[in-house]
């Protein structure tokens, strides 16, 4: 499962969840999240749970559109191989 896959089926997810589900390091995950945020495909929400920081991510309309276009292109490519 990729970042966008996790975000398209959830309202929002936190950093820890993404890290565990994708089985990546903090740095690796952060390096993948940054361009998604810069391209406005995801929104970052920083807050607190008690005294601990809690960063969550959600997909934007632009991100949803781009991801669905990506999936459509992959489907068409697979159909072309059959």
CA distance 44 to 7: 12
pLDDT in tens, 7-63: 999 999 999 999 999 999 999 999 999 999 999 999 999 999 899 999 999 999 999
* Residue (of 63, 45, 43) closest to 55 by Cα position: 45
Fold of 3-81: Arc Repressor Mutant, subunit A (1.10.10)
Domain ranges of the chain: 3-81
Cα–Cα distances in angstroms (integers) from residue 2 to residues 6, 47, 52, 66, in the given order: 6, 24, 26, 14
**Count of other CB atoms within 10 angstroms of residue 4:** 20
What is the pTM (predicted TM-score) of this model? 0.86
CA distance 67 to 59: 10
């Amino acid at each position: 499962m990729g970042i966008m896959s996790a975000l398209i089926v959830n309202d929002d997810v936190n950093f820890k969840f993404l890290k565990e589900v994708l089985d990546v390091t903090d740095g690796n995950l952060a390096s993948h999240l940054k361009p998604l945020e810069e391209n406005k495909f995801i929104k970052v929400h920083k807050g607190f749970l008690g005294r601990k920081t809690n960063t969550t991510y959600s997909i934007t309309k632009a991100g949803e559109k781009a991801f669905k276009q990506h999936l459509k292109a992959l489907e068409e490519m697979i159909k072309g191989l059959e």
